[in-house]
Amino acid sequence: MHSETLFSIYMYLKQSSFIVLLCYSARTLGHFSVDAQGVSQPANPLTSNFGCWSDFVANYTLCTKGDFLKISICLAVLFTFNFLWRMMDARMFDLDGKLMPGPRSNLSGKNFLSVIKKARKSKQVSLAVLDMINTVGDGNLCCGKVYGKNIVIAAHPESVKVILQGNHNKFPKDPKYARFQFLFGQGLVTSSGDKWKQDRHLMNLGFYSENLKGMVSVFNLHCTQLLQSWVSRLSQNPITGFQSLKSDLTREMSNLTLAIICQSAFGYKLSSYVDVKESSTFDDMNVLMDELNQRIVDPFDWWPYIFPKRRSQVRKALENWMSLLEDIISQRMEAPNDEPAKDLLDIILRVGKDQKTHLSQREVRDHCLTFLVAGHETTSGTLSWVFYELSRNPAVLELCHKEIDANWCFCKSNNELTVSHEDIAKCIYLGQVIKETMRLHPTVPVISRRNKEECQLGQYRLPGNTVLSISVLALQRHPSFWEEPELFKPERFAPEAIKNTLKHPFQFVPFSSGPRNCIGQRFAQMEMIVILARILSEFTIVGIDPEDERNIRFEETITYHPNNLKVNFRTRTRVD
């Protein structure tokens, strides 16, 4: 049923309710008249004439209980239809009265409610939103109302520029980010205003390139542990002469990046490949990540509090991680600062002291947890996507191997192959592969803001308190800005092609942009290059078994990533 038809039915019922209400009022007022002595008498409804408002009230109050009941029913019907129309009307108009592109009704066709409801079950909301932008929207915007709230989904670089580059106080994060405060506290993800500005300035000083150089040794250490565990699981293929193994990359990349960020951020050595006793630490983090994912899709803010078992598991996992971090932080805050900084926690504490900015133990803990969760989940998701694409594009995989072999980007250290900080700059093609992966499969596919006051978005003047969501997936597949946007083509990010590829500075924002961009983007890029170079120097990808490929689930929770991704690897050297 079209929205115009629904609107006609609504207007008919609304007018009918008004007419019935007026008829009952006239009938009631016509039952009585007031004589000279002030006594109510039955009156002819055709000749009744009330001289003043007091007469009107006196006569109106003398209507029967049945008349009041009928009037109440009419009012209830009227307000019900008015409420239902407001709920089902999905049209959004700007402040100049222009109809914005988007769904017309929340009851029929493609609309935010129907699409998101289905997409939540399949955990692929962004793909559904991408389809809505290109079908219901105009390819650049998709706007509408949900429960009376104005929602704008942007996919054009100019609109993205307005939202991300604007003043962070005028375009704060969506209030739904407050759902994450149970874990992040007042870290950079959830804080706002002057506190965010002060903390962000402090954290920026800790993420200078010079401070990140020392992290490369941590990357190499944990890559070595991963590769050693793979070697121990190799099986000989008597036909080909190569040794091979199958890796559950979703799990192994998550464990690897978690171990790296734990040691890089606050010096905690979490060996996921040696000490099986530490599995409870990983289990606790999985519980917290599941809770973050669940709070994204919960219909109400109070929803988690009605599930006691779930609350108990989350509280226990959170207490374990909080206790671990607070012990480490308290020891560092009491220890002298004579030794060189060995991780981000040391850097943050020293920068805070140098800037004469006092950070409480709780504030430091909030920042560490923010780095911990954001730093491992997004990076592991991107790495999983990289290996997925390499398994589907053998020509790209071969070019990766050629770059690694040709540039000799490895050096011998303690009888191990390691990647130095200087070697990272040599891995140009690996960087292209990572960028193209982040373009086609952004692990954070939606960025949400809310404008505090009216703003101009293209040709539309938006009212304040509008939800402004950026579909990074649609933006980075926009056909007006990307040639063959659905294809995996790392060469589009080659140094000689980058000027033609990036036609607009806001068409590629895998780490967001503007004042609230990702503070750890350089850290993540260095980490991913080291991990890919180390793995692909010793192993190559054979492919994915048909049965395993059918079992892959492309899920979008707090990040968008392939789940249950199992890839076959083999050694690059033949064993005779």
Per-domain boundaries in the chain: 3-34+41-84, 162-571
Q: What is the pTM of this model?
A: 0.83
Mean pLDDT of 404-425: 73
Q: pLDDT tens-digit profile of 218-258?
A: 999 999 999 999 998 888 776 666 788 999 999 999 999 99
Q: What would the pLDDT profile of 68-115 be if each residue is shown by its tens digit?
A: 677 777 777 776 766 666 667 788 999 999 999 998 887 777 777 777
What is the separation of C-alpha 62 from the centre of its chain, rounded to a whole number of angstroms? 61
Tokens for 198, please give them.
């002060």
Question: Is residue 32 pLDDT above 70, yes or no?
Answer: no
Average pLDDT, whole number, for the chain? 81
State the average pLDDT over residues 135-147: 89
pLDDT at 39: 47
Beta-bridge partners for 461? 456
Q: Assign 224 to helix, strand or coil.
A: helix
Strands in 35-75 per DSSP E: 40-42
- Fold classified for 162-571: Cytochrome p450 (1.10.630)
Reduced to 3 states, what is the DSSP secondary structure of residue 460? Answer: strand
Instruction: Give 8-24 pLDDT, tens digit per residue.
Output: 454 545 555 555 555 55
Consecutive H or E run containing 150: strand 149-154
Nearest partner of 42 among 54, 28, 52, judged by Cα: 28
* Apex 78 CA angle, 96 and 56, nearest 5: 105
